């Protein structure tokens, strides 16, 4: 059996290792245009901040791939012919397969701001190794930088630029930072923390256009409120999109929406072709869904491999969880919290004297989500409470079991409990 995996990110690599664990004989090949070896995309910022070398970002020793007999090909795929079961590469080589996995990931979303098309230098995303290269190159000649986008990649890029002592303006379209994950109260804690690091953070600012100098270098970012921000570097972090545009040009394109459409077993519309990770789009609760997190890509990569091996797989995303770090503030989340469902009631407690808070959302007598800022929690217990439909009182009472802070450093839950008694007494 010849397995071919397109993409050596976390979905592709997890799939390759899963295939190998189950099938010792198969030929397994991974193709990547981006890098020779699997690296941790989530750690790009630590390379930018000189805390790691590029080699340090590789989660497995290089010898693992040779030992597991996983062939690595560094090339760009230019064509897919599913009827002949073959990929054509830019080098002219052709790779034949019996089963193909598309795990091509995503790329930074490109906005259509007026003026952006004529900028030739000074603009970057922060998603790929090429983006990292570009950012490092740009940072050397930058005094003032503007970063646009109110998500996690945005704040990570901001942190990197602050580390390199750039004057950073951070523009967020929504009224507060990261409304997809944080409510206003948490966002205020995070925003003032970001500002304390010298960042000029603006909410409710939408880019109206950009200007470049005659040489094509970025010069100014204008917003719809009329403000102008001079800069020598513009970081665009308004989200990521499945990296599937190239698939429209191939001989046999799979059916696509935002991403490559897949069944609950990760099958694409093409025979013997599966897709997993950021690039896969599936139906969930009747809605087209694309999961673009490290965690989901890893999970999907493993399950898609099991599907390719012939196991019956019916994927539905488990209870959502995520984590992040905003400069020094850590964040753990589980369940539905970004937009609390209708009829939900929310218990929110900011820990006194700390940049920390707890939010527990309850709907119809069952906790549906938790959002924790500034201290460490075992989200696995949160997931269990949500799955078991535990009530708010139960969760508050058992909260200490999920604490994951360092020894001697546990957040004191007594004030939270006494506030809860007062709060629930109010009804």
Stretch that binds other proteins, among 70-78, 116-124, 179-187, 374-382 (CB under 8 A): 374-382
Position among 22, 27, 42, 222 found at the interface with other proteins (CB under 8 A): 42
Choosing from 165, 184, 196, 251, the residue that interacts with other proteins (CB under 8 A) is 165
User: Quick one: angle between helices 294-308 and 10-22, nearest 10?
Assistant: 30
* Identified binder of other proteins from the candidate list 27, 71, 75, 163, rule CB under 8 A: 163
Residue 103: name the closest of 191, 168, 210, 28 by CA.
28
**Which of 124, 169, 332, 371 is close enough to bind other proteins by CB under 8 A?**
332
Q: What is the C-alpha radius of gyration for the chain, rounded to an integer number of angstroms?
A: 23
Q: State the burial class of residue 266 (Cβ atoms within 10 Å of its Cβ: 0-12, 13-18, 19+).
A: buried
Closest among 314, 312, 306, 276 to 23, alpha carbons compared: 306
Q: Does residue 293 sit in helix, strand or coil?
A: coil
Under the criterion CB under 8 A, does residue 422 sit at the interface with other proteins? no
Instruction: Between 116 and 367, name the residue whose CB sits nearer to other proteins.
Output: 367
The smaller minimum CB distance to other proteins, of residues 103 and 116, is found at 103
- To the nearest whole angstrom, how small is the minimum distance from the Cβ of residue 264 to other proteins? 9
Find out whether 12 and 2 touch, Cβ atoms under 8 Å.
no
Contact 108, 131 (CB under 8 A): yes
Interaction between residue 263 and other proteins (CB under 8 A): no
Considering beta carbons, is residue 223 or 332 the nearer one to other proteins?
332
Burial of residue 75 (number of CB atoms within 10 Å: 0-12, 13-18, 19+)? middle
Is residue 228 classed as helix, strand or coil in its secondary structure? strand
The answer to whether residues 57 and 101 touch, using CB atoms and an 8 Å cutoff, is no
- Contact pattern for other proteins over residues 198 through 237, marking x by CB under 8 A: ----------------------------------------
For residues 270 and 329, which CB has a smaller minimum distance to other proteins in the complex? Answer: 329
Q: Which stretch binds other proteins (CB under 8 A): 98-106, 220-228, 283-291, 295-303?
A: 295-303
List all residues 6 or more positions away from 301 whose beta carbon is below 8 Å from its beta carbon: 10, 11, 12, 13, 14, 15, 18, 103, 276, 277
| Cβ–Cβ under 8 Å, residues 278 and 292 | yes
The SS3 call for residue 22 is helix
- Verify binding: residue 378, other proteins, rule CB under 8 A: yes
Residue 313 binds other proteins (CB under 8 A): yes
Residue 61 sits in the site that holds other proteins (CB under 8 A) = yes
Q: Is 193 in the site for other proteins (CB under 8 A)?
A: no
Find the binding residues for other proteins in span 114-143 (CB under 8 A).
Answer: 136, 139-140
In the complex, the residues that contact other proteins under the rule CB under 8 A are 10, 40, 42-43, 46-52, 56-59, 61, 63, 136, 139-140, 163-165, 294-295, 298-299, 303, 311-316, 318-319, 321, 323-325, 328, 330, 332, 376-381, 383-384, 387, 404-409
């Amino acid at each position: 059996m010849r397995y071919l995996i397109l993409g050596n990110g976390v979905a592709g690599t997890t799939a390759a290792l899963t295939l190998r664990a189950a099938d010792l004989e198969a030929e397994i090949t991974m193709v990547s245009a981006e890098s020779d070896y699997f690296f941790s995309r989530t750690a790009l910022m630590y390379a930018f901040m000189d805390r790691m070398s590029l080699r340090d970002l590789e989660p497995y020793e290089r010898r693992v791939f040779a030992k597991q007999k996983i062939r690595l090909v560094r090339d760009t795929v230019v064509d897919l012919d599913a009827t002949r079961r073959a990929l054509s590469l830019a080098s002219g080589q052709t790779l034949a397969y019996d089963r193909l996995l598309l795990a091509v990931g995503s790329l930074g979303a490109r906005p259509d701001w007026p003026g952006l098309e004529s900028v030739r230098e000074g603009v970057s995303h922060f998603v790929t190794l090429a983006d990292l290269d570009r950012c490092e190159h740009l940072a050397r000649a930058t005094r003032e930088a503007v970063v646009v986008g109110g998500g996690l990649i945005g704040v990570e890029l901001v942190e990197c630029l602050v580390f390199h002592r750039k004057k950073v303006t951070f523009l967020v379209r929504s009224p507060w930072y990261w409304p997809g994950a944080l409510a206003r109260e948490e966002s205020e804690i995070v925003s003032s923390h970001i500002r304390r690091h010298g960042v000029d953070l603006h909410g409710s600012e939408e880019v109206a256009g950009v200007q470049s100098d005659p040489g094509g270098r970025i010069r100014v970012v204008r917003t719809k409120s009329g403000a102008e921000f001079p800069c020598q570097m513009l970081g665009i972090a308004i989200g990521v999109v499945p990296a599937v545009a190239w698939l429209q040009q191939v001989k046999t394109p799979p059916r696509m929406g935002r991403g490559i459409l897949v069944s609950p077993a990760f099958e694409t519309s093409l025979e013997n072709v599966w897709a997993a990770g950021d690039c896969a789009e599936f139906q969930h609760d009747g809605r087209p869904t694309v999961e673009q997190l490290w965690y989901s890509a890893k999970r999907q990569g493993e399950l898609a491999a099991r599907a390719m091996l012939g196991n019956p797989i019916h994927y539905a995303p488990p209870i959502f969880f995520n984590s992040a770090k905003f400069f020094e503030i850590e964040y753990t989340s589980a369940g539905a919290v970004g937009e609390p469902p209708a009829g939900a009631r929310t218990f929110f407690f900011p820990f006194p004297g700390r940049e920390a808070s707890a939010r527990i959302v309850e709907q119809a007598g069952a906790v549906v989500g938790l959002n924790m800022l500034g201290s460490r929690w075992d989200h696995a217990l949160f997931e269990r409470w949500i799955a078991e439909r535990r009530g708010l009182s139960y969760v508050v009472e058992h909260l200490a079991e999920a604490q994951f802070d360092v020894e001697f450093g546990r957040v004191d839950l007594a004030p939270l409990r006494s506030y809860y008694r007062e709060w629930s007494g109010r009804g």
